[in-house]
Amino acid sequence: MTDQQFLAALPAYSEPVSLKSAQGRRIRATIRRGLAHLVLRELLTSLRRGYRGRSPDDVKDYYETNYVNTGERAAAQHGEPGRRVFYRFLDSWIIELESRHTEAIASQIMGNIIEDIAPASLCEVGCGYGRNLLYLANRLENVRCSGVELAQSGVDVAHQLQQLDLVNTGYGGVYGFTERGTDNVRRTNIVQGSSYKLPLEDASVDMVVTCEALEQMQTGRDQALREIRRVAGRYALFYEPFADGNDWLQRLYLWSRNYFRTPVKSLRDYGFEPIGIFTHVPVKPTFAYTFVLCRVV
């Protein structure tokens, strides 16, 4: 999907507003005031509990609870109305359903990048309930796909999704599932495990991908990146809030929540050589994700 196709596909109430217009400037000023307030709130919360952001145990507990659902319900929710929120895309503000279209466009871009690399196998680290991974498996029907997720509840929902007729669900409709890729979806191996000790052999997959997963792992970033390097045979593709893609206030927000905020060039310290950076993705008002494609060195 091109940038123009993405904008054209937005719901009617999501007509883009130019960043340079008077309305666009007012939106930006309002968002920055709200972001400054969030930073202050996070810092005060951190003072009370004695550390910034969430601990690894906090993250695990959150997602174990967050993924308590059924596969049928998770699939159906993608076709239901959601809360309207702001995103920025290129030179426009858009009012969008919460995460629905923005997550789909990010997955589509990831699929485009992976198709160009044509790996024999891929593994998504921190795959959640399989939203992104199962889309990739459906689209890349000849790629052997797998996933590792910390929360067992997420793995359980993913396994339920694999057994559904996803083409005819809200999830399948938003993501453009086809019958052709159904077999690969059901073959996809999704297991419970930690990114700090991945249940995979050295260099056992052509490509490792992360999608908004390292975001939660700043405390254990070094260990997670070393593990990804260990199991990645050729490439790694990260979709994370790299420092380079955020301004000073957004980086301050990431710091206040203790989210991932590593500069792209620092990936070289872990054995990754960045060979492609992709920024044409919808951006949250609070912070932005960036695609970084790396060759394992």
Residue 2 pLDDT > 70: no
**Tell me, what's the pLDDT at 221?**
93
User: Is residue 209 within 8 Å of residue 123, measured between CB atoms?
Assistant: yes
Q: Which of 81-90, 103-112, 215-224 has the lowest mean pLDDT?
A: 81-90
Range of the structural domain that residue 277 is part of: 3-296
Higher per-residue confidence, 282 vs 131: 131
Q: Is the pLDDT of residue 1 over 90?
A: no
Residue matched to tokens 């695990």 = 60
Q: Is a pLDDT exceeding 90 seen at residue 158?
A: yes
Distance CA 187, CA 162 (A): 9
pLDDT above 80 (res 10) = no
What does the pLDDT average to over 82-89?
A: 80
Q: Which CATH number belongs to the domain containing residue 249 in this structure?
A: 3.40.50.150
- pLDDT band of residue 169 (cuts 50, 70, 90) is very high
Query: At which residue do the structure tokens 């091109």 appear?
Result: 2
pLDDT at 16: 81
φ/ψ of residue 85, rounded to 5 = -140, 165
5 confidence band (pLDDT: 50, 70, 90): low
Paired tokens of 91: 């030179």
Q: Average the pLDDT over each of 10-14, 96-100, 101-105, 198-202 and give the range with the smallest value.
A: 10-14
Q: What are the respective helix, strand and coil percentages of the chain, to the nearest 5? A: 50, 20, 30
pLDDT confidence of residue 7: 56
Higher pLDDT, 109 or 4: 109
Range from 20-34, 81-95, 149-163, 248-262 carrying the lowest mean pLDDT:
81-95
Structural domains counted in the chain: 1
What torsion do the CA atoms of 71, 227, 207, 254 make, to the nearest 10 degrees? 70
Q: What is the pLDDT of residue 80?
A: 84
Across the chain, mean pLDDT equals 91
Quote the CA–CA distance of 164 and 13 in Å, as a whole number: 32
DSSP conformation class of 213: -
pLDDT digits (tens, 9 = 90+) for 283-293: 888 999 999 99
For 163-201, give one letter per residue: b (16+ CB within 10 A) or e.
ebebbebbbbebbebeeebbebbeebebbebbbeebebe
% of residues, the chain, pLDDT over 70: 94
Q: What is the pLDDT of residue 79?
A: 82
E strand intervals along the chain = 17-18, 84-89, 92-97, 121-125, 144-149, 189-192, 205-211, 232-240, 272-278, 290-296
Query: What pLDDT is recorded for position 4?
Result: 61
Predicted confidence (pLDDT) per residue in 43-71, tens digit: 999 899 888 888 788 888 888 888 888 99
Q: Measured between alpha carbons, how far is 242 from 240 in angstroms, rounded to an integer?
A: 6
Q: pLDDT by residue (tens digit) across 26-41?
A: 989 999 999 999 999 9
